[in-house]
Structure 1
Amino acid sequence: MSDHNLLTLQGVHTHIGAYHILHGVDLAVPRGQLTMLLGRNGAGKTTTLRTIMGLWRASQGRITFNGQDITGLPTPQIADLGIAYVPENMGIFSDLTVKENMLLAARQARSAGQMNEERLAWIFKLFPAVEKFWSHPAGKLSGGQKQMLAVSRAIVEPRELLIVDEPSKGLAPAIINNMIDAFAQLKASGVTILLVEQNINFAKRLGDGVAVMDNGVVVHAGTMKALAEDEALQQSLLGLAL
């Protein structure tokens, strides 16, 4: 395996109970790039993310991160290697304040005072709402603000790979632009990113590489630019026009 790819999946199968969801997924996430994982609903995108994180076990195949086989590792160990995962439901604790949510994610810190100030300042620049609502209960935030908090929690400690499931879902266009900007800045800071997305405009503006899933396998992989310029291909892969 070349060092060029930070994460690779080779022939990954996943069964959930009696259901065979992933049927041999091959996926490469190049270091320092933003890779988009697209596909219709039910294509297996979320299952792929959960399998990478060890939340569901691959029944066959191999997952390699940074040269290490992580296929059988428990989720906390996978996270410790430098992978952050923001699931679609965001996993925010509604009753806790924004600050307490951040503190829970900062495993090195026992109090807000121990959190890395430089890093916090950088996060506040990316997502001003996180600073603005610092002492408010997270449950009071809007959908877009919760999404920003979820990403902020994922990056409160340095991570090599950020995996986010549908960051633009249900968000207003202005917030989506803010998100796009934040992901671009994260990528510029050296973070490798894998995003599952339904919003094609979002994908088009951010993606370096793209993989399209259908029925539990990757049916197309290439550059986002090439897919964005080929309407017939979009139509056949996604059933939609960009």
Structure 2
Amino acid sequence: MSNILELSGVHTHIGAYHILHGVDFAVPAGEVTMLLGRNGAGKTTTLRTIMGLWQPSQGDVRFKGRSLKGQATPDIATQGIAYVPENMGIFSDLTVKENMVLAARAARHAGELDTKRLDWIFDLFPALKKFWLYPAGKLSGGQKQMLAVARAICEPRELILIDEPSKGLAPSIIQNLISAFNELKRQRTTILLVEQNFMMAKALGDHVAVMDDGRVVHRGAMRELAEDQSLQQRLLGLSLGAHQ
């Protein structure tokens, strides 16, 4: 199994703060890797470092064997990596359609969007078709999250980084996202997913890296972590079984 993304000895400073302390883990191609850990463990900083929003002060981030270190975020995005931040990153004053056009590098207007791919996205998220001409700011929280994910996949991407997509969402919406991510998985899209909802982590994850205090303290199969409550307690301070 080949790795599409590898972090080795990554340190990240934000101002005077040393946030990541030698992060090491790999993301196998075509599968879902969960990045778990308590609040403040460094998960979001790790995603932002991969995307070049913050530069590593030491160590390296390699995508398909090539270093991303020192590259600007737009240049990283053009290599086939998409990022869905925790705040979703949508443009509230623009319509759903306009948000999608902005996310599509190959389209200058809606008529140039890949209609076959757009129909596939509408199958995943029917609400987006219904509210196609609505301002994105008027969507519900769940619909905004669907739009954020749809923007990331409006064109084929090899790797998608997603930061806590289920936060604050109703169980039915979370299930919809799980179905969408499983469909991406079937298409061999690689996903690195930060998530606090352990039902979602267990349903989607093939692999897991657990962070604590800016370091990776555990790597392995998601299934093994899901079945070992003592390991869950030690690494995360809670049990996956309590979050079904």
Q: Flag whether TM exceeds 0.5 (same fold).
A: yes
Counterpart in the other structure of 1:230:
228
Distance 2:196 2:96 in 1: 27
Please report the RMSD computed on the Cα atoms of aligned residues, expressed in angstroms. Answer: 0.7
Q: SS of 1:177's equivalent?
A: helix
Distance 1:111 1:228 in 2: 45
Counterpart in the other structure of 1:50:
48
Q: SS of 2:86's equivalent?
A: coil
Query: TM-score, normalized by length of structure 2?
Result: 0.97
Q: SS of 1:58's equivalent?
A: coil
Distance 1:85 1:21 in 2: 20
Distance 2:72 2:135 in 1: 31
Q: SS of 1:35's equivalent?
A: strand
Equivalent position amino acid for 1:27 in 2 = F
Mapping 1:64-103, distance limit 5 Å? 64-103=62-101
Q: Runs of 4 or more off by more than 2 Å in structure 1?
A: none
Q: CA deviation at 1:110?
A: 1.2
Counterpart in the other structure of 2:13:
15
Query: Any gaps of 5 or more consecutive residues in structure 2?
Result: none
Distance 1:89 1:47 in 2: 14
Percent of residue pairs bearing the same amino acid type:
72
Distance 1:123 1:27 in 2: 31
Q: CA deviation at 1:137?
A: 0.6
Counterpart in the other structure of 1:121:
119
Query: Any gaps of 5 or more consecutive residues in structure 1?
Result: none
Q: SS of 2:111's equivalent?
A: helix
Which of 170, 188, 191 is the aligned partner of 1:190?
Answer: 188
Distance 1:52 1:92 in 2: 20
Q: CA deviation at 1:78?
A: 0.5
Counterpart in the other structure of 2:153:
155
Does residue 24 of the first structure (1) align with residue 22 of the second (2)? yes
Counterpart in the other structure of 2:32:
34
Equivalent position amino acid for 2:231 in 1 = L
Query: TM-score, normalized by length of structure 1?
Result: 0.98
Equivalent position amino acid for 1:5 in 2 = N
Counterpart in the other structure of 1:176:
174
Q: SS of 2:22's equivalent?
A: strand
Q: CA deviation at 1:67?
A: 1.3
Distance 1:145 1:189 in 2: 23
Q: CA deviation at 1:221?
A: 0.3
Distance 1:237 1:143 in 2: 30
Q: CA deviation at 1:190?
A: 1.6
Counterpart in the other structure of 2:135:
137
Q: CA deviation at 1:240?
A: 0.4
Distance 2:107 2:230 in 1: 51
